Amino acid sequence: MGNSWKNRITDLLECDYPIILGPMRLITLGSMAACISNAGGFGVIGASGLSREKLVEEIKLARSLTDKPVGVNIPVYRSNAQDAVEVSIDMGIKTLYTSAGDPAKFIDKIKSAGLKVIHKVSNLSMARKAQAAGVDAVVAMGFEAGGHIGREGITTFCLIPVLAQSLKIPVIASGGIGDGNGLLAALALGAEGVEIGTRFVATNECPVPPFFKESLCAAELNSTVVLGKEAMPIRVLKNKIVEQAAGIGEAKTDQVMVQQGNADALYVGEGGNKHTAVMPCGQVAGLISNVSTVSDVLSEMINGTKSALDRINRMTSGGKL
């Protein structure tokens, strides 16, 4: 893959490349987090849905698989958030990744224990609030991303430059990035790192059922839909259950999915099949056609960034594309 990169995000997260594993409830646990960190990125364990004991177990598992740092994602609104903060501090995690709520709730506790914090946002006012609360970086998530997204429909391409110009802290771009071209575009827009969710689902190492990876590889740009638009919007792959819930084809409403309890119960991390499971997924699925290893995804991104840059350099110096 060549030389590691260096900027504020690689310094903050102590990784070779500013590529972060997007936390995925009950999917990105110890083994997946260790895998990304071993490949030079920054792995994240999702604490959502884990008991205290299970989180301890997953952090221990990650430590047994890598010497590199991994982070823990804590959705602030979940009932286990306080526990997850305490466990992470006790177990010597260096960086917490908060989302879905106000990071100010835990910032004093986290900072006084000497940890760094990154926080997920989807608009400028959330980003300013997070910066004022004292977070070290924001993950800025555009509307094309997989999973829970912002209510305002702001895309990655427009969100990143505004945040990069308006904030002092570094910005990590999330949503719609699946290869070296996307990584280079994010850097060109002013991001200093990227968060990748959907592309890492289509890897050998990702512990989701094969039907999820197959559906994702078969997906086109228009294969996702946003459910729960009024409450907690979530971008998912279209399938039978989702089409019913969204009222596509049959006249039902997406009220079925609005309640978090329902979305959780049908979530692919809990079981189901390709017709009955809710599979969060980004529009970037339309770019993905193969399942490969995490390390191949990472090296294609790093090498792809360099070849995209060469291509642009040739063009801007008068050469042909």
Ligand X SMILES: Cc1cc2nc3c(=O)[nH]c(=O)nc-3n(C[C@H](O)[C@H](O)[C@H](O)COP(=O)(O)O)c2cc1C
Binding site for ligand X (CB under 6 A): 22-25, 27, 46, 48, 73, 75, 99, 120, 141, 145-148, 174-177, 195-199, 201, 280-282, 284
Residue nearest to ligand X (CB): 197
Nearer to ligand X, 6 or 275 (CB): 275
Two tokens at 54? 């299970």
Other beta carbons within 10 Å of 284: 26
Nearer to ligand X, 45 or 256 (CB): 45
Nearer to ligand X, 5 or 143 (CB): 143
Q: What letter does residue 23 receive in the DSSP assignment?
A: P
Q: Which residues lie closer than 8 Å to 127 by C-beta, 6 or more apart?
A: 121, 138, 140, 163, 166, 167, 171
Two tokens at 85? 């903060």
Q: What letter does residue 151 receive in the DSSP assignment?
A: S
Nearer to ligand X, 115 or 141 (CB): 141
3-state helix, strand, coil in the chain (%, to 5): 45, 15, 40
The type of residue at 318 is G
What's the closest the beta carbon of residue 209 comes to ligand X, in angstroms? 12
Query: Which of 38, 95, 94, 34 has its CA nearest to residue 63?
Result: 34
Q: Which residues lie closer than 8 Å to 120 by C-beta, 6 or more apart?
A: 97, 98, 99, 100, 138, 139, 141, 174
Beta strands 234-237 and 224-227, pairing class: antiparallel
Q: For residues 226 and 228, give the distance between their C-alpha atoms in angstroms, rounded to a whole number.
A: 7
What's the closest the beta carbon of residue 248 comes to ligand X, in angstroms? 20
What's the closest the beta carbon of residue 251 comes to ligand X, in angstroms? 28
Nearer to ligand X, 115 or 208 (CB): 208
What's the closest the beta carbon of residue 235 comes to ligand X, in angstroms? 8
What's the closest the beta carbon of residue 236 comes to ligand X, in angstroms? 8
**CB of 97 closer than 8 Å to CB of 73:** yes
**CB of 8 closer than 8 Å to CB of 138:** no
Q: Is 19 helix (H, G, I), strand (E, B) or coil?
A: strand
What's the closest the beta carbon of residue 115 comes to ligand X, in angstroms? 18
Two tokens at 118? 């990154």
What's the closest the beta carbon of residue 315 comes to ligand X, in angstroms? 27
Nearer to ligand X, 26 or 252 (CB): 26
Nearer to ligand X, 181 or 311 (CB): 181
Other beta carbons within 10 Å of 263: 21
How long is the chain?
321
Nearer to ligand X, 246 or 287 (CB): 287
> Which neighbouring-strand residues pair with 292?
203
What's the closest the beta carbon of residue 56 comes to ligand X, in angstroms? 19
